[in-house]
């Protein structure tokens, strides 16, 4: 039996309006400024995004993870997953609230959820499970398996016809082979 325990949504990258300068191999052992510390014993990370732009605009995101915060315990950043998010601009895809702040979004008519998430050609190190309803005007989600990382960094490699990108995640603790005691 498997049971999933989800921690609330957290902003991984909020209000991104331009692509990042890519992480260079020479800087993989430097902690990125926008890194997010991983919560507790998370085994997976559930991802979704919302933002503004034209229908079918895309955002390519490289999700890096690393172990340790300082000194000898710190290991270089590893590309965990490379994902492409596609914006869905139909009435049912409007994002009325920011799931992180549980607050109304500033321009209700311009914020939409990304309805498709796909793995990009450059791949990644860990398994990614994609939602079954990709591109069907439902919120697109991905579940990224974690391997003990202590921090994550979501690098926005490209924004195509996207004016604002918000990537949010929820830590998931999967408890596998739980035995019920009667």
CATH of the domain at 170: 2.60.120
Summarised one tens digit per residue, pLDDT across range 46-84 is 999 999 999 899 999 999 888 876 665 667 788 899 999
| pLDDT for residue 177 | 45
Distance CA 35, CA 87 (A): 24
Asked if 53 and 164 touch (Cβ cutoff 8 Å), the reply is yes
Asked if 47 and 10 touch (Cβ cutoff 8 Å), the reply is no
pTM beyond 0.75, yes or no: yes
Residue 145 lies in a domain: yes
Residue 181 lies in a domain: no
Would you say residue 9 has pLDDT above 60? yes
Asked if 100 and 11 touch (Cβ cutoff 8 Å), the reply is yes
Mean pLDDT in the chain?
Answer: 79
Least confident of 6-15, 64-73, 151-160: 64-73
Would you say residue 137 has pLDDT above 60? yes
Residue 26 lies in a domain: no
- The residue among 81, 82, 94, 83 whose CA lies nearest residue 139 is 94
Residue 88: phi, psi to the nearest 5? -110, 115
15 Ramachandran zone, left/alpha/beta (phi>0; psi -120 to 50)? left
Residue 146 lies in a domain: yes
Containing structural domain, residue 86: 2-21+33-176
Structural domains counted in the chain: 1
Summarised one tens digit per residue, pLDDT across range 24-46 is 665 666 777 788 888 677 888 89
């Amino acid at each position: 039996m498997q049971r999933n325990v989800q921690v609330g949504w957290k902003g991984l990258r909020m209000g991104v309006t331009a692509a990042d300068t890519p992480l260079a191999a020479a800087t993989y052992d430097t902690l990125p400024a926008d890194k997010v510390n991983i919560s507790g014993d998370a085994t997976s990370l559930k991802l979704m995004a919302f933002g503004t732009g034209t229908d079918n605009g895309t955002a390519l995101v490289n999700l890096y993870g690393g172990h340790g915060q300082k000194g000898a315990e710190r290991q270089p950043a590893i590309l965990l997953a490379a994902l492409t998010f596609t914006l869905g601009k139909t009435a049912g895809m409007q994002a009325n609230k920011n799931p992180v702040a549980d607050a109304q979004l500033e321009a209700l008519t311009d914020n939409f959820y990304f309805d498709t998430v796909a793995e990009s050609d450059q791949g990644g190190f860990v398994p990614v499970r994609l939602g079954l309803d990709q591109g069907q005007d439902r919120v697109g989600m991905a579940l990224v398996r974690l391997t003990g990382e202590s921090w994550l960094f979501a690098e926005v490699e490209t924004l195509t016809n996207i004016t604002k990108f918000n990537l949010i995640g929820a830590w998931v603790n999967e408890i596998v082979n739980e035995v019920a005691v009667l």
